[in-house]
Amino acid sequence: MDTFRVVVAAGGTGGHIFPAVAVVEQLQVQTGGRCSALFLGSADRMETSLIPALGYPYIPMPIVGFRGLRSLSTLTLPWKILRSVSIARAAIRRHRPQAVVCTGAYISYPAGIAAVKEGVPLFVLESNINPGKTNARLAPKATAVVLAFEDSRSQYPAELRPKLHVLGNPVRTQIDASRDAAHARTAFGLQPDRPTVLVFGGSLGARTINDAVVSALPMLATEPYQVLWQTGASYAAPTVLPPNVRVVPFIDDMGAAYAAADLVVARSGATTIAELGIVGKPAIFVPLPSASTDEQRRNAAAVERAGGALVIDDRRAATDLATSIRQLMLDVDRRAAMATAMQQLGHPNAAANTAALILSTCGYGASL
């Protein structure tokens, strides 16, 4: 069988990069290792080192996000877009892909336009409940749009509905619902049999959540549960902590952290929600208020409506987070019901199904 070639545009954040990598990994599996992937991204974001470290060829583009009318970079933005489209078209001509995959953010726009101009099938992955600005522009031109939420269908015009596929947000295989809780807790220096709350704000941490935990420390010291608190590398946690609170700046193995947890406190990014759906963990979400299209609040609201999470406004985290944690940790039945609801939202085969959709649409012999 011939090699399946794909060009992928993903960058800016892990929320755009890792779903793309998960799909490429599944393309490799479903083609028997005959997948050749080329990644496009920015010249100065995390993908510039992350993608090559994963072993994939990478081409940077000069495009940057819109930074306001007063920004000097805005004056050169039209040139950077045109130059990035030119780079993407040249990459497509050299790599000769059967598909171009875009996961959103400004990085995707030149690659999506280049795919259309070069006549290559375009696949758009939208991980949030409402489409980002770039994906909304690319969707009418796409061959298929992969959605993470059923509720997202209503966000698109009726004429685009036939190309919408609710397959979930692709997650890499490191997230495993079968891992042992006691073993995971021990690995983090926690008591193996004590109920556990996992608190994190993404790889960089979330100051609002961190500050709320600091305010809650006197209460947490008296509780029958323990806390695994990931602060982010730049946050200075108090040096004196209750014995049932374990602080780490960064967690490499999120699968182990989820396994250790009975309740998760986090922002409501699409990747976090997808991972929680796989492991079936109840959550308290504190949506990031500065998200560009308010997607975190909308994501969290969808999960809350389904019964999988409790949502706290960022402005009320300092006053409400501690009591909300206590209420849920002392209510085993409610947490169990939330865990079931969260698992029902999960799409553990999202990456595999997305890869199969791409291959079958491109006539490579795989089908859903």
For residue 176, the model assigns a pLDDT of 81
Whether 126 and 104 have beta carbons less than 8 Å apart is answered as: yes
Closest to 83 measured CA to CA, from 101, 66, 62: 62
- Taking the C-alpha atoms of residue 118 and residue 109, their distance in angstroms, rounded to an integer, is 14
Q: What is the pLDDT at residue 290?
A: 80
Nearest Cα residue to 223 out of 194, 248, 258, 247 = 194
How far apart (Å, rounded) are the C-alpha atoms in residues 105 and 85? Answer: 15
Domains and CATH numbers, the chain: 4-171+348-361 (3.40.50.2000), 181-345 (3.40.50.2000)
Contact 124, 144 (CB under 8 A): yes
The 10 Å Cβ neighbour count of residue 54 is 16
Residue 367: per-residue pLDDT: 43
pLDDT of residue 147: 97
Q: Is the pTM of this model over 0.85?
A: yes
By the 10 Å C-beta count (0-12 exposed, 13-18 middle, 19+ buried), 249 is classed as middle
Question: Per residue in 68-114, pLDDT tens?
Answer: 445 555 566 787 899 999 999 999 999 999 999 999 888 999 999 99
Token pair in block for residue 170: 């692709």
What region does 286 belong to: left with phi over 0, alpha with psi -120 to 50, or beta? beta
| Residue type at 295 in one-letter notation | E
Separation between Cα atoms, residue 71 and residue 257, nearest integer Å: 40
Question: Low-confidence residues of the chain, pLDDT below 50?
Answer: 68-69, 366-368
